[in-house]
Amino acid sequence: MDKVTLVFIENLALADIIISLLFYMPMLATVPSGMWVFGGATCWFTGFFSSHVPFLAQILIIMSISVYRLWVVKKPSEVRKRIDVRHFKMSILFIWLIAFVPVIFWIASKAEAFFFTRGLICWSTNHVPTSPTYLSTKIFSAFYVAIPMCIVFVTSVMIMYTIILHTLKAGRSLVPHLRTLLTVNLICWTLLVSYFPLFVLIVLKSTGVPIPNWFTLFQIYAKSIQVVVNPFIYVATNLRFRRCITRLFRVDRRTMIPDTPVSPSYQEVDNQEMTGRVIS
């Protein structure tokens, strides 16, 4: 896996962490009481920032990953000539800035935050059908969710088709491509599964079909599938993330029991014995 893909995945992991800490954790904290207990300012922050920015950035980052990997598969020599990690870092920064655009528009339009009792989370009034900003919500949803999901689906299928076709023609093994192929496609298809209910919701709203409350609630919780599954994908398919997690949970016995002598490994004992034999 190249450095550019890692930069994208690291920012995707950052978006997952923000969603977990600032969206789903407050939601779980409201379950026992059934009411918002963190104050009005936090409700406003959650209703506008936590419930929109990291989710939108997550979708756009995954779309960028899928498009970039398709470029790598289609024209690898061109990628080697033009690739510059700094340019892609700037594109990541641009993605995060783009994710703020709907929130800034809704704040400028004087949308308000409220506690959505069925969802147990603070929401913004731009999601209410009677709100004057509701039309903008449908437009932003199509631009930030529906279109990127279609791009992710098409590119992920094209990546798999191109690699398999090229491998069969060249008579080479798929093994060198499997790790990156598996990581990218698992992330893409997890996104499609997580956001498919929201995609259906957007389509139904555009046709004017009445949406039942249970389905609105279901699509809110369905988005957590990706947040839960993504860390397992990172660790299972990427050595860099696996080493990071290992360092976090590894316990050094010498720091716990400093007076306990550390016995040499079997390899060291074998080397010592072999050295002694050579000297003798």
- What integer pLDDT is reported at residue 228 of this predicted model? 87
235 contact partners, CB below 8 Å, separation of at least 6:
241, 242, 245
- What integer pLDDT is reported at residue 33 of this predicted model? 80
Q: What is the mean pLDDT of each run of 10 residues along the chain (280 residues)?
A: 81 91 88 85 91 93 89 76 77 93 93 84 86 87 90 89 74 63 83 88 76 80 87 77 72 46 43 40
- What integer pLDDT is reported at residue 176 of this predicted model? 60
- What integer pLDDT is reported at residue 209 of this predicted model? 76
- What integer pLDDT is reported at residue 152 of this predicted model? 92
- What integer pLDDT is reported at residue 211 of this predicted model? 78
Retrieve residue 149's tokens. Answer: 């999901």
Q: State how far the alpha carbon of 208 is from the alpha carbons of 84, 95, 138, 168, 219, in Å.
A: 46, 31, 11, 47, 18
Amino acid symbol at 196: F
HSE of 242, CA atoms in CB hemisphere, 13 A: 6
